[in-house]
Amino acid sequence: MARWGGRHAAVRGDDGSAVVEFIFLAVVLMIPVVYLVLTLARVQEAAFAAEAVARDVSRAAVVGGVDALQHGSTYSQAQGAGRDRANAALATTLSDFHLDASDAVVDLECSADPCLTPGSDITVAVSIEVSLPGIGALVPRARISVHSSGSSPVDGYLP
């Protein structure tokens, strides 16, 4: 019976191939997983930011407006003061989440006229667009939009 290289010839031909296959498969499988984790982290960050902006901006508008009314301002002046404080809260909250004001669309609405009537609500709707990591430069329209809304009641006060 003839041997074709003996027992060791077959083993030598496979030496190291498992390591090469493992490295190749690990790279091929890990790149999409890492990309998915990065994308989900960006979207989750935007969702947290949208919720925080809706909460903070609505409350800041109420507090700024009511504070101005308590100090003798007219309703129109108080609404301006409330918007100023809401804009400051918007900038601060977005910067906490490393987002620009250009990434967010914020709509502020009042449930009553005049806006700061005690017992009424100020509602804020927020939409934040997030670009996908790595693809944003290649496909500028590859963005995900996250929405949230929040409202704050206008406290009673004595003008």
Q: What are phi and psi of 127, to 5 degrees?
A: -130, 125
pLDDT tens by residue, 16-60: 677 888 888 888 889 889 989 999 999 999 999 999 999 999 999
Query: pTM for the complete prediction?
Result: 0.77
Residue found under tokens 């909250």: 93
> What's the full length of the chain, in residues?
159
Positions of E strands within 4-142: 104-110, 121-131
Distance CA 121, CA 54 (A): 13
DSSP H helices in 71-141: 75-96
Sequence ranges of the domains in the chain: 15-153
Cα separation of the two ends of the chain: 110
pLDDT tens by residue, 118-144: 889 999 999 999 888 877 677 777 888
